[in-house]
Structure 1
Amino acid sequence: MALHQSKEQFKEYLKVEKNASPHTIKHYMYDIGQFEAFLLKESLKNWKDADHLLIRNFLTELYQTKITKRTVSRKLSSLRSFYNFLEREGLVEQNPFHYVTMPKMEKNIPEFFYEEEIEKLFEVEDLTTPLGQRNQAMIELLYASGLRVTELTTINVHDIDFSVGSVLVTGKGKKQRHIPFGSHAQKALLKYMRDGRDQLISKRNSDTDVVFLNNMGKPLTARGVSYILNSMIQKVAKTSSIHPHKLRHTFATHLLNKGADLRSVQEMLGHENLSSTQVYTHVTKDYLQKIYKNAHPRA
């Protein structure tokens, strides 16, 4: 079977059976396409022609491009999943990527805001303007719920339940979950949706159920959210930058610091595996050490 045809079959499998997001499928196709180009360069025209030695040469070529171990690991994971699919479909006899060791990853402690730092971010917007109300509602909700930025940009009006203070989000694999939010986020959201959002809709004659809109009355993109957050933090700290995930990290870290259990935080973050959530325990241990050293007379 042609290389391209197998790729298209796998793409359909990801979309239909795995419910993978367009973003995930894009990464898979890019990684597989890169390996496909390598095979063709080696004058190989079938996926089953790949063996352990060829893969080692492929890895050598990857490392020469100076990409990170994390990116290499992602590519290997993509190709391992692809070959699992080919093996299941009888298109290869075995998966050669089973014999390839993933690069050892350095554990990065997530960046997060301290409580006094994030409080400053809640004071920078002009709440008399539609965009100021939107920005305030957005940062309050990100901090209150730990949403991924892609989840934030796809929230519709009917996904928010103000009576109980929760939002329904669609996460990875199209899995849905309800996340609670507090009174500060509720107040900011109500003000934006009853005032600022209505102005953005009417001014541009827009017709959308998406909650967070740009100044044209159209749904905000992930890039737009990043730009807005960076503009907000520039008003507080001239040299700092922010990424939306930093607010997600802050949400998880602050909950654990205040005694929340790991399973509950896992559920709210939408992590499939507890190991993904456990990275935050390293942060809280550092926090506890700091508290101990500052408070204990014989520390």
Structure 2
Amino acid sequence: MVTASNKSRKDEKVKLSSVLNAQNAQLIEAFVDMLWLEKGLSQNTVNAYRTDLSKFALFLQDERVDDMLNVESFQVSDYLAHRLTKKLSQRSTARFLSSARAFYRYQISLKACNKNPIDHVSNPKLPSYLPGTLSEAQVEALLDAPDLSDAVQLRDKAMLELLYATGMRVSELVNLQMHEIGMLQGVIRVTGKGGKERLVPMGEHATHWIKTYLKEARAQLMTKPSNTVFPSKRGLTMTRQTFWHRIKHYAKVAGINTHLSPHTMRHAFATHLLNHGADLRVVQMLLGHSDLSTTQIYTHVAKERLQSLVQEHHPRG
């Protein structure tokens, strides 16, 4: 199924590649192919690298620099200034610098060039970002929103319960396969970024609702054979965009006016675990973060909890 966002990304790729010179286009495609084949990065991540590097190459071509391998640090600085005039976000600029550093490191490893023009360019200072989340009461309201008499909404109920119980990404949820659910052991095998697998406990509530859904609703959605746990109404693998719209629908039903993102339930999972005393490294493993620094966006929760514990239990709190 071709979604509007997938089509726009494809159109942008065609548009960018059509105006790049052949040498730069070949360099970028060889690099992103390596990312996909050797690093196992997702297609969305690979597309982001391609877009960042293509836009940089186009800027260089406009500046009469036709070879991406012959770039100086001042030209990178000129491009950053250009991005500033376009009022592009600091976060997207930081992503470009990360993409470009990786590109030039790869070229150096191939001995295609002998210096990385990004090495002496500082990353922009990003504002501290705390992910939006929901209170425990709001999550309960969201989980209670689906109409359980309807097969599609019973499927959605099981998906929401599993999302909150495991903290998995929406993309991981919609691609979940039947053989990855261990009902007797109460765990699921989640395939995350880069094809990395992790085992995550489901908990009693999620296990109950998945069993109920499998028994009462899944067969009604299976218009064709599939190993997907949560097929769409057409019996196909659901897109993450489709389920994101389902989440927004149930938030409206539940009267939740808080800004939501596709990761809101994932953030709620991590935040509520820490609120109830979970260790940050345990949360890291459950979320599938390879680096603890990624999980540390949630440390503000742990700090708040520590402060409340001190105030409650210390004699001079």
TM-score range, shorter chain: over 0.9
> Does structure 2 retain, via aligned residues, the 8 Å contact 1:47–1:92?
no
Task: Say if 1:116 and 1:294 are closer, same or farther in 2 by CA, change over 3 A.
Answer: farther
> Does structure 2 retain, via aligned residues, the 8 Å contact 1:125–1:135?
yes
Match of 1:54 in 2: 75
TM-score normalised according to structure 2 size: 0.88
Residue segments in structure 1 that go unaligned for 5+ positions in a row: none
Give the match's secondary structure for 1:48: coil
Match of 2:124 in 1: 103
Distance, in Å, in 2 between the alignment partners of 1:8 and 1:123 is 47
> Does structure 2 retain, via aligned residues, the 8 Å contact 1:134–1:212?
yes
Distance, in Å, in 1 between the alignment partners of 2:123 and 2:151 is 48
For residue 217 of structure 1, what is the amino acid of its counterpart?
Answer: G
Task: Say if 1:110 and 1:290 are closer, same or farther in 2 by CA, change over 3 A.
Answer: farther
Q: Alignment partner for residue 93 of structure 2, among 72, 75, 85?
A: 72
Give the match's secondary structure for 2:270: helix
> Does structure 2 retain, via aligned residues, the 8 Å contact 1:179–1:268?
yes
Distance, in Å, in 2 between the alignment partners of 1:192 and 1:114 is 26
Match of 2:272 in 1: 254
Deviation at 1:291? 6.9
Alignment of 1:18-37 (within 5 A): 18-37=39-58
1:237-267: per-residue Cα shift (whole Å, max 9, x none)?
Answer: 2633422311111111111121111211111
> Does structure 1 retain, via aligned residues, the 8 Å contact 2:165–2:202?
yes
Match of 2:245 in 1: 227
Match of 1:128 in 2: 149
TM-score normalised according to structure 1 size: 0.93
Distance, in Å, in 2 between the alignment partners of 1:238 and 1:268 is 26
Q: Calculate the aligned-residue CA RMSD, in Å.
A: 1.8
For residue 184 of structure 2, what is the amino acid of its counterpart?
Answer: S
For structure 1, which segment, 268-277 or 41-50, has the greater mean C-alpha deviation from structure 2 after superposition?
Answer: 41-50
Deviation at 1:150? 1.1
> Does structure 1 retain, via aligned residues, the 8 Å contact 2:274–2:301?
no
Task: Say if 1:294 and 1:118 are closer, same or farther in 2 by CA, change over 3 A.
Answer: farther
1:211 matched to 2:229: yes
1:137 matched to 2:158: yes
Match of 2:112 in 1: 91
Give the match's secondary structure for 2:199: strand
Q: Alignment partner for residue 149 of structure 1, among 153, 165, 170?
A: 170
Distance, in Å, in 1 between the alignment partners of 2:310 and 2:142 is 28
For residue 79 of structure 2, what is the amino acid of its counterpart?
Answer: F
Match of 1:159 in 2: 180
1:265 matched to 2:283: yes
For residue 74 of structure 1, what is the amino acid of its counterpart?
Answer: R
- In the alignment of these two chains, the number of paired residues is 296
Give the match's secondary structure for 1:96: coil
Distance, in Å, in 1 between the alignment partners of 2:276 and 2:291 is 22
Task: Say if 1:31 and 1:265 are closer, same or farther in 2 by CA, change over 3 A.
Answer: same
Deviation at 1:223? 0.5
Distance, in Å, in 1 between the alignment partners of 2:314 and 2:160 is 36
